[in-house]
Amino acid sequence: MVPDFVSLIIFLLALGGMIFVHELGHFIAARWAGIEVEEFGLGLPSYKLATLFKWQGTEFTIHALLLGGFIRPKGENDPNVPGGLASANPWKRLVVLFAGPLMNLLTAIVVFSFLIGSEGVPLPGSIKIDSVAANSPAEQANIQAGDILLSINGQSVTEIEPAIALIKENLDQPVEMIFDRSGEQVTLTATPLSTRKASEGALGVGLGYPTRPATFIESVSGGFTVTGIQAATIVYLPVALIRGAIAPEDARFIGFKGIFDMFNVAVKEDVSTRQEAASIPADATMPAPRPTNWTLNLIGVLSISLGVMNLFPIPALDGGRILFTLPEILFRKRIPANWENTVNGIAMLLLIGLMLFVNVMDFVNPVQIPTP
């Protein structure tokens, strides 16, 4: 069992890395645009522990709250400062503001491309047993990871959702299933239990598709596709809530505790499946169960969330600042800087209040994290 402390370290490294990558995007774009950056801090803005070095007018520092990073562009909110961010061409400001979220989305593409490359491309048309939970009806019936499910109660199954539906139709009743096990057909009987948690599954099996190795092009294009679908889902979420397609309790915000809880489950599952795979003898006839990659997948999903949420047209976020640049680009008339700074300042206070509320609710009403 992985100690919670280890999960906490991984959570902090992952979250800090996502913030750092975001700020690095802003920094690279600012340097490209010729905008001076006075400070690039390692950690959140807090007590400065040390100045690491200086490079082309930028002071690289390390701060006490060692989580992520930040940049301090020259003249960030004052258009009267020459060579600063606020006085730059609106197109350059647009590039700088987009660069942070873009880096998070690129991170997600890299993560999902790696996952597809390591796990392979699914081959629909047959169902593979990816995992079997301990002390489950599946384990008691001798269903094994690597088995290919052919039929349930005489009905041929080739897709996961119809197979799950058939199992649910026969809760608390013996179900006869035929599997292909290393080229031999095996008939087994198991009883899916209604008393098991939904997150555990009535049978206690993880279903997937057999895979084949992915080419480099397939891995990269798949990374783009997965990232695009996830991003579109987040953008559509407010519309789905308004239409009632998603219940509010299923789309609630979560804070640092909620995210840590998700990392805790993911890390423990990844370690557990790797230990299980390592315990299988090398000369075993059945293939070892495939280790999960929940932690990497979670990092990819959170990177997309950070990138997309920052592009929402909310003042104080990158998307809100982008919104303030559009009148200057479209109508060649800039919104007064004092108006913009006032709106962003008020919005920042409201966002801090919302974050405090969300983090308190994580303790008052913890998010139920599904267990594998």
Domain ranges of the chain: 89-120+215-372, 122-212
d(CA 37, CA 31) in angstroms, rounded, equals: 7
Q: How far apart are alpha carbons 22 and 35 in whole angstroms? A: 17
Q: Is 152 left (phi over 0), alpha (psi -120 to 50) or beta?
A: beta
Report which DSSP code applies to 25.
H
Q: Given this model, what pLDDT does residue 285 score?
A: 55
Residue 118 φ/ψ region, left for φ over 0, alpha for ψ in the -120 to 50 degree band, beta for the rest: alpha
Residue 288's closest CA among 190, 86, 144, 171? 144
pLDDT digits (tens, 9 = 90+) for 241-288: 888 777 776 677 888 898 999 999 889 888 888 887 777 766 555 556
Task: Give 335: exposed, middle or buried? Use CB within 10 Å, 0-12, 13-18, 19+.
Answer: middle
pLDDT in tens, 53-102: 999 889 999 999 888 899 999 999 899 999 899 999 999 999 999 999 99
Determine the Cα–Cα distance for residues 125 and 148; give it in Å rounded to an integer.
11
Which 8-state DSSP code applies to residue 65? S
256-278 and 4-32 helices cross at what angle (nearest 10)?
A: 110
For residue 371, what pLDDT band results from cuts at 50, 70 and 90? very low
Given a cut of 60, whether residue 291 has pLDDT beyond it is yes
Fold for domain 122-212? Pdz3 Domain (2.30.42)
Dmax (CA) of the chain: 78
Q: Which residue has the tokens 């915000």?
A: 253
